[in-house]
Structure 1
Amino acid sequence: MQGIRGAITVENDNREEIIEAVKKLLINILEANDITAEDIGAALFSATKDLSSVFPAFAARQLPNWDLVPLFDAQQLYVENSMKKCIRVLLLVNTDKTQKEIKHIYLGRASQLRPDIAKA
């Protein structure tokens, strides 16, 4: 089992915008790592305190075959001057890939969270 991280930002605390952002993030992670929803043991989401329109897990449930994936939502720890309107995810995935082969995905302003990965 490996962990795959990702994050995305939105411009507004808007239900539709958040749903589309989460779906985009998850699709990118699945495609980049050649995995399917059936490979996922669990998905843990966090959102910054300025996002309250919809649970990220609800957005994930809109994707095909995500109905059986165990999902969990939490509020991201608030740290002064930290990134705003950010949704993060940790996927626990059944895979034979090594940690070096895993591709973590950071989209939008969230790419600033891991500049080491953005450069790779």
Structure 2
Amino acid sequence: MYVRGIRGATTVEENVEQEILDKTSELLRTIVEENNVNPADICSVFVTVTADVDDVFPALAIRNMPGWEMVPLMCSLEIPIKDSLQKCIRLMLHANTEKEQGDMRHVYLHEAKKLRPDLCE
């Protein structure tokens, strides 16, 4: 068994609570589906946002999902790099798995596809 990192990112069009929560939930659900993991396999989730996403903690969306109540979550601000993608939410899940690192499916949705076009189909 290994601990593997699974990355993902998405963007919001507006800095409003419901959109932030919806897009965070969509991202997590997609990561879980693509990697066939469940909350019991997750060691922790690290959530970052750009400074222009401040209407709600995105981790609230994860905390409210059934089965995710006890998964350790942490939110932080992204480093403010000039000309970087704005209104962006990033997740890094640490999961217990038998899979090799190369088998992990990283997920980039909406405008965040620009971050890793090599991983987007």
Provide structure 1 residue ranges, at least 5 long, that are not aligned to the other structure: none
- In 1: Cα distance, 2:81 partner to 2:99 partner: 33
Give the aligned partner of residue 67 of structure 1.
Answer: 69
Partner of 1:41: 43
Matched positions, count: 119
- Corresponding letter in the other structure for 2:64: Q
State the 4+ residue runs in structure 1 displaced beyond 4 angstroms: none
Residues 68-83 of structure 1: pairs in structure 2 closer than 5 A: 68-83=70-85
Say which SS state the counterpart of residue 94 (structure 1) adopts: strand
| 1:95 corresponding residue in structure 2 | 97
Spell out, residue by residue over 1:75-118, the C-alpha distance to the aligned partner (whole angstroms, 9 max, x if none): 01101111010000100000011011110000000011001101
* AA of the residue aligned to 1:43: V
Per the normalisation by structure 2, the TM-score is: 0.96
Matches within 5 A, 1:47-62: 47-62=49-64
Q: SS at 2:27's partner residue?
A: helix
2:90 partner letter:
R
Q: State the percentage of identical aligned residues.
A: 40
How far did residue 59 of structure 1 move?
Answer: 1.2
**Counterparts of 2:14 and 2:43, CA distance in 1:** 30
What secondary structure, in the 3-state scheme, does the structure 2 residue paired with 1:50 have? coil
Q: List alignment gaps of at least 5 residues for structure 2.
A: none
Tell me how far 1:38 sits from its aligned partner.
1.0
**Shift of the alpha carbon at 1:62?**
1.6
Q: Partners of 1:95 and 1:56 in 2: how far apart?
A: 25
How many angstroms does 1:66 deviate by? 0.7
Normalised by the size of structure 1, how large is the TM-score?
Answer: 0.97
